[in-house]
Amino acid sequence: MSKRWQLLIKIGISLVSITLASLIIVDPDGSKEWLDSTFLLLIMVPLLAFIVPWHRITTFKAAGVELTLESPSVRGAIEGIEMSSRDRRSIRRTLYDLRYAIDDSHGSRVLWIDDHPEKILGERRILRSLGIQVVSAITSDSARGVLDEDDDFDLVISDIQREGEPKSQFSRYGGIELIKEIRQSNDDPVIKNIPVIFYTAYRPEQVENILDQVSARELPDVHFCYSVEGLLRKVFGILPTARADVIRVSSGKRATDIRKKGEKKVSGGY
């Protein structure tokens, strides 16, 4: 909002408040009780309108939910994506509509696999500014490495086409091939069942054709998005449920025997 419009809004609020305060003073019954809390509040509104730095207020908390309205990080991430002003306004409205889901998703972890991370920088920054931890991988091999070392993710976001991955005859669709592998052969129940979003520039009809080619129509809990707004709606539609799902695991920690002083180490402990 421009400074001119901010000034006009402040003047308008001040005029309304002063008018209402004047009506209290000229009360036809002649009561002298007009100097009450309502009158004082109306008198203070014009002063507050010009003293309070409203342009610096970036969060609003109500009903236990803290909303990030126009924080510099969110604004910077949105402005960094090449799109029309109309699309940017639409994204801001979408974030407001998703405010409760965003609050429930705070602290979630996402693995984002894309061989051109520079092209999704704005999207990743939006998620980070909203409290989502994003871990990046640029190849299927690096994604496997991440998952081998850390399976604590709530969502995977991936591209469909990935260059330089000759794993099969459909290597150009390395993103789908990786998810097929994870779904079919991974023994880790967390990784095997993690929800996946394919964020792609392909059109929906092209995606249908690709799925037929790589025999991937039956992959469970797989979603497709074609725009920034669609991605945000899908991400914050999935994360609250993923965060709420109970994952039952048994502790693998076991205490090894404590050696007495001077006792030689015996192999086989862990």
pLDDT along the chain (270 residues), means of 10: 64 72 60 56 64 54 52 82 89 89 92 93 93 94 92 93 62 83 80 91 88 78 92 95 70 68 57
Burial zone of 258 (CB within 10 Å; 0-12 exposed, 13-18 middle, 19+ buried): exposed
Alpha-helical segments (H) within the chain: 3-25, 37-51, 72-79, 85-97, 99-105, 121-129, 140-149, 174-185, 189-192, 204-213, 228-244
Please report the pLDDT score of residue 134 as a whole number: 96
**Which positions ≥6 away from 243 have C-beta within 8 Å?**
104, 105, 107, 108, 154
- For residue 63, the Cα-to-chain-centroid distance in whole angstroms is 20
Residue 11: both structure tokens together: 């003047």
Confidence (pLDDT) at 47:
63
pLDDT of 130 reads 92
Please report the pLDDT score of residue 180 as a whole number.
87
Determine contact, residues 231/84, Cβ cutoff 8 Å. no
pLDDT at 16: 74
**Cα-Cα end-to-end distance for the chain:** 62
What pLDDT shows up at residue 187? 77
Query: Cα(24)–Cα(19) distance, rounded to whole angstroms?
Result: 9
pLDDT at 19: 74
